[in-house]
Structure 1
Amino acid sequence: MARERSGRTVAHLVLATRLKTLREAAGISRGEAATALGAHTATVRRIELAETSLDEGQVHTLLTAYGAGAAEIAEFLGQLATANLPGWWHPWRSVMDAWQLDLMSVESATRIIRVWEPALVPALLRTPSYARAVEDVRRPELPPADKDRRTELLIERQKRLRDQNTRIWAVMSAAALRTPVGGEAVMAEQWQALRAAVERPDVTLQIHPLEGPCHSMTGMPTVTLYRVDVPEIPDHVVREGDLPGSAEVLSSRHAVTAYHVLLDHTCVVAPHPDESKEALS
């Protein structure tokens, strides 16, 4: 899967999967469900894959055909109404990259986020000043107000991930510590923030030294692996592209497993997190 659809939230995917489970438990084929719906079989397939919006009327018809009781139908429709509410990131949608719109709902259900960052401080560990300075370099074409909003979004993501106890496991190159971003004051603040972050139980940071050996992620762009804590939703990988705002989003088992193995190998080769703490002292 190259990318998620921006309207396809985790909640929608869970409800769509539940519809499929109820149909199969009732012993009803997709063709029979389509007949009850007065639609083509492909419509039922798209509903069960959350490839189309979940319409309240269609969902009610399907649940009735599957033998669901009034209480179960009411509960399901209540969950659907909640799922249809705008995500917390809605106020920032105009300045978000397409892949960010697609992944925010997945991120909200993520248990562990693993990151490989080849040249800069990982985004989820950046200070506001450092993040804003990166926007100036990476997105010079954007108006200052848009850069400010994008920075606000990143800081809000960091806060929400802390609140939901998502673990951040980042591997970065020591080159980031020697690459000036935004001036001495910005770098000093960022160093201090990293020192504080590595003391938190939800953060693991490993720093590859410049003189370290070649490893499995050497030469790769920024890669983020989302380990999702919802059974119906697969883990996701984001491999950022060379152009600003571009990225490839993958969720196939083969792709996720491949990057998982690469990250594991890189973490084995990288210095222990305790040594990374010393590098920041």
Structure 2
Amino acid sequence: MARERSGRTVAHLVLATRLKTLREAAGMTRGEAADALGAHTATVRRIELAETSLDEGQVHTLLKAYGAGFAEIEEVLGQLARANLPGWWHPWRSVMDSWQLDLMSVESATSIIRVWEPALVPALLRTPAYARAVDDVRRPDLSPEARDQRTDLLMERQRRLRDRKTRLWALMSAAALNTTVGDAEVMNDQRLALRAAAERSDVALQIHPLNGPLHVMTGMPTVTLYRVDVPEIPDHAVREGTLPGTADVSNSLHTVTAYHMLLDHACVIAPHPDKSKEALTP
């Protein structure tokens, strides 16, 4: 699967797509745009795919070549200046997995997140104590301070998604409810948090029982799908790796559609969210 390119954000992708649209509307080829820029055609291609940083001078030159007016040039350059500002997650970048760095921009523009979690509580539904206890076991390579920061980041992600009213549709195995993470108090608080989340209108939680039938995602690692509500940005799929901190990220239509179909099949077999609430009742 294709990995996200470092530094590529949703805002940069939107601007890159706009530059391509303006070039095509002006009836110019990439070669002609490159001539106006005094660069190679490959440079224009990379700019339009946001495979390189968007330089203010280059963008200004291209906009003038495409016949953009003063107001439009000012608007685009203003958008570029805002896009170049650090993302809200910038303070946590040192403790983030590499694949997360670009994906935070996508997550921040997401309208629906779907996730399959085979053995634990999905990350976006974890309590701070549960999340920290998971990292204590899975990420012994990190310092205690780094693990604290990662927990803080996760809580901030959850808060921002709630504020955006991003819908979360989570399918998890009941194995998570039978696996002690931390201690009994951590697990009790996590159950209470899951029960509260299941009552929210922006959350659909399905819990596949331990004695439930085999489904197409049984044994598959954690998979997360992002439905982005920005027309220029494709949906994304993330399949977490077996090694800590690794994942495959793809925005290929074929790959994303395949995972959507797998999740659809698994969700049909799993109990309805109302039944899943009963599984969380003491």
TM-score higher than 0.5 = yes
Once the two structures are superposed, what CA deviation does each residue of 1:199-244 show, in whole Å capped at 9, x if it has no partner? 0000000000000011010110000000111110000000000000
Partner of 1:154: 154
For 1:60, the equivalent position in structure 2 comes to: 60
Letter in 2 for 1:86: P
Query: 1:261 is paired with a residue of what secondary structure?
Result: helix
Residue 248 of structure 2 aligns to a residue whose secondary structure is strand
* Correspondence 1:80-119 to 2 at 5 A: 80-119=80-119
Task: Map 1:206-245 onto structure 2 (within 5 A).
Answer: 206-245=206-245
Partners of 2:247 and 2:209 lie apart in 1 by 27
* Matched-pair contact (CA < 8 Å) for 1:3–1:102: no
Pairs within 5 Å for 1:110-259: 110-259=110-259
What is the distance in 2 between the residues matched to 1:66 and 1:142? 50
CA offset digits 1:156-215 (Å, max 9, x no partner): 000000011100100000000000000000000000000100000000000000000110
| Percent of residue pairs bearing the same amino acid type | 81
Q: 1: CA distance between counterparts of 2:237 and 2:57?
A: 35
AA paired with 1:278? E
SS in 2 for 1:132: helix
RMSD (CA atoms): 0.6
Which runs of no fewer than 5 residues in structure 2 stay unpaired? none
Runs of 5+ consecutive residues of structure 1 not aligned to the other structure: none
Correspondence for 1:2: 2
The corresponding residue for 1:16 is 16
Cα displacement (A) at 1:5: 1.8
Q: CA deviation at 1:141?
A: 1.8
CA deviation string 1:65-101 (max 9, x = no partner): 0000001000000000000000000000000000110
Give the Cα separation in 1 of the matches to 2:222 and 2:194: 18
Instruction: State whether structure 2 residue 276 is matched by structure 1 residue 276.
Output: yes
CA displacement at 1:2 relative to structure 2: 1.5
CA contact under 8 A between 1:225 and 1:236: conserved in structure 2? Answer: yes
Q: Compute the displacement of 1:6 (Å).
A: 2.7
Count, aligned residues: 281
Determine the C-alpha separation between the residues in 1 that align with 2:212 and 2:220.
16
Secondary structure of 1:227's partner? strand
TM-score by length of 1: 0.99
Per the normalisation by structure 2, the TM-score is: 0.99
Deviation at 1:122, TM superposition (A): 0.3
